[in-house]
Amino acid sequence: MSGQKINKKLFQDRKRTNILSNPEQKFISYLVPRIPNWISSDGLTAIGLFGSLMIMVSFILAQYWDIDYLLLGIVGFFVQWFGDSLDGRIAFYRNKSRKWYGFSLDIVMDWISTVMIGLGYVFYAKGNFELTGFVLVALYGWAMILSLLRYKVTDKYTIDAGIVGPTEIRVIICLVLLIEVFFVGAIHYLVMGICAILFVINAIDTKKLLDLGDIRDAEEKKTKEPENV
């Protein structure tokens, strides 16, 4: 695995800037050729959605049965990453990619997964902390909207906010779940911290997006102006 090379063909549709992009892409390049032929791209999408269901259920079980069930959520995040990261890559590898179908399905499944995870946290949280589950979903939705708008304005699809992408978010939340198992109640304050960081990142990205919109407006206006004779 240490000598595994990145199959650049698998990642040509998007630019990644997240801090874990290099090891992640090497791992995906290793996994893709080893996925059985009977597992389709849509099948991997379903696996990713099942991972999100595992995370939601882990919160409910932790609330009503035992805190250790939060560890199931960590497994769920890996399952979610596996399905979500490989569904599009396997389509590229098998030359069966459907750009707009895959793009649309990916966005819808990401949103459903986010809502499921947020709902699970709402079941787990107590009192006013339930609101942080809603805020987290809203902020992640804001980030998704920014990605789509950035794609529209720049014609380049990116899913990362600088060095932080979906994979880093998953790792951070897994650490939060692990901390919660040993220090019950810590999750609420950690989620509040994550919400604050996401708000700042989204606000900065919104300003950058508006600046890009201004630049594109100016460029389009310039191309439409009649040349002086």
Asked whether the predicted pLDDT for residue 1 surpasses 60, the reply is no
Gap between the Cα atoms of 54 and 1, Å rounded = 28
pLDDT tens profile 81-111: 999 888 888 888 888 878 788 888 888 998 8
Provide the pLDDT for residue 13. Answer: 59
pLDDT tens profile 8-33: 666 665 666 677 777 888 888 888 88
Asked whether the predicted pLDDT for residue 227 surpasses 70, the reply is no
Residue with tokens 């998704």: 144
Provide the pLDDT for residue 101. Answer: 87
Mean pLDDT, residues 158-177: 80
For residue 198, which of 219, 178, 168 has the smallest C-alpha distance? 168
Q: Is the pTM of the predicted complex or chain greater than 0.85? A: no
Partners of 164 in beta bridges: 161
b/e per residue, 37-53, with b = 16+ CB within 10 A?
eeeebeebbebbbebbb
How large is the C-alpha radius of gyration of the chain?
20
pLDDT tens profile 45-77: 999 999 999 999 999 999 999 999 999 999 999
Provide the pLDDT for residue 14. Answer: 65
Provide the pLDDT for residue 12. Answer: 64
22 Cβ neighbours under 8 A, 6+ residues apart: 6
- The confidence band for 3, taking pLDDT boundaries of 50, 70 and 90, is low
| Between 219 and 57, the higher pLDDT residue | 57
For the chain, give the mean pLDDT. Answer: 85
- The confidence band for 229, taking pLDDT boundaries of 50, 70 and 90, is very low
CB–CB of 89/28 below 8 Å? yes
- The confidence band for 174, taking pLDDT boundaries of 50, 70 and 90, is very high
Gap between the Cα atoms of 70 and 211, Å rounded = 41
CA distances from 9 to 29, 39, 227 (A): 10, 20, 42
